[in-house]
Chains A and B, each alone.
Chain A
Amino acid sequence: MIPAAFDYVRAGSAEEAVSLLIEHGDEAKLLAGGHSLLPLMKLRLATPSVLIDVGRVPDLSYIEERGDEIAIGSLVRHHELETSELLHAQVPLLAHTAHQVGDPQVRHRGTLGGTLAHGDPASDLPAAVLALGGTLVAQGPNGRRDIAATDFFEGFLETALAPDEMLVEIRVPKVPGAGWSFQKFNRRAQDWAIVGVAAVTNGTTGIALVNMGSTPLRATAVEAAVQSGASATDAAALAAEGTEPPTDLNASPEYRRHLATVLVRRALEEAGK
């Protein structure tokens, strides 16, 4: 399968990428690792007429400490996340979740910024960033702005990024001693999660759900129940509240709602240890 024809341009910097986005408008898409975009283009589900390759932009491949947070350049690849000693020490949920994505070849190419900007509710890493209460940094024509992860995912494959903005950085709080868990349920290796759960307990508990609606979701009812002292089982019973899980070959919405309660309970138990 070959994508529809397009023009290919390379951006040497985030500023140049933003200029190119302004120049080419709606017809343009940013290309980083390409592991979300290229499969869609091969199926002709996406047909951008201009691809702006940001894969070579320097200085966006860092993982570094910044005060109480870890700052991660948007071009950091999943393989770099899963092997980062700094992440394993400070935000193990994120390193572990990166290891659950796809397979080794996919993790060598896919980027954290790409998977977040793609906004697929079935992806693993957006849920981890959401559970952690991360911050996403968008660069646009007027400079940079911070977007809370909780405000970032707006609809199916839709995010708060404006058409002339590029995601350049992701920040997550350091949670070195926190309890955490990532539960991914699928039937075959390398598949998407039928349902997934990211949980982190650090004073408060953050829970996010994979593939339980049109966006990655915070399980706010569960979080509130945990906060007011409910048991893992009682809190997890609320996991499907406010969700609209999809139906597909793997599962019905009813099955996903059930699975969410089971996986959230397991996640709370593991994070609470």
Chain B
Amino acid sequence: MKVTTTVNGAKQAHDVEPRTLLVQYLREACQLTGTKIGCDTSSCGACTVLYEGESVKSCTMLAAQADGGTITTIEGLAASDGTLHPVQEAFHEHHGLQCGYCTAGMVLAAVGFLQENPTPSEHDVREGLEGNLCRCTGYHNIVKAVLAASEAMQ
């Protein structure tokens, strides 16, 4: 079936099987491999993207369900001149990553979270990112980065 979407502002139209997961569609059909597959069971959040502006786990959504929709992946966050999104900048500044595998999903989850709660407490951030696992256990700097991004975005 034909699945047409707008990913990071660009139209995408690809013929895929109905059982194609959104994360496969993004990685294999759209060739946007910034979105990672971690646990593949909607637990770890590595595959988090924004669908219609809200964080979703793209391993637990069919591409067909996203047909006609708007998606933002990690490739679409920075400005066209390369200026990083404030959340990316804060992750860089505060060393909010170790191995980096969870980072794309963590950043997208944080962007979605800050849209819903622009002035969170530290507790809010920890709860707001409960759907994302960092197996390096680098949570402290991730939380610092999200709090710093929240201030930068005020």
Contacts and interface: CB of A to CB of B under 8 A. Distances in A.
A105 B48 contact: yes
Given A35-B60, A103-B131, A108 B42 contact: no
Contacts of A1: 40-41
A79 B53 CA distance: 13
A7 B62 CA distance: 12
Given A104-B130, A104-B131, A105-B56, A8 B48 contact: no
A42 B41 contact: yes
Interface string A214-241: 0000000000000000000000000000
Contacts of A253: none
Interface string A91-118: 0000000000011111011000000000
B19 A105 contact: no
A189 B127 CA distance: 9
Contacts of B43: 190
B149 interface: no
B57 interface: yes
A103 B130 contact: yes
Contacts of A105: 42, 45, 48, 55-57, 109, 131
B54 interface: yes
Nearest to B108: A105
B42 A35 contact: yes
B18 A189 contact: no
Nearest to B130: A189
Interface string A1-19: 1111111100000000000
Interface string B54-72: 1111001110110000000
Interface of A: 1-8, 31, 34-35, 38-39, 42, 51, 53, 55, 79, 102-106, 108-109, 189-190
Interface of B: 1, 17-19, 21, 24, 40-43, 45, 48, 51, 54-57, 60-62, 64-65, 109, 112-113, 116, 127-128, 130-132
12 contacts: A7-B18, A35-B60, A38-B60, A55-B65, A102-B42, A104-B55, A104-B116, A104-B128, A104-B130, A105-B55, A109-B56, A109-B60
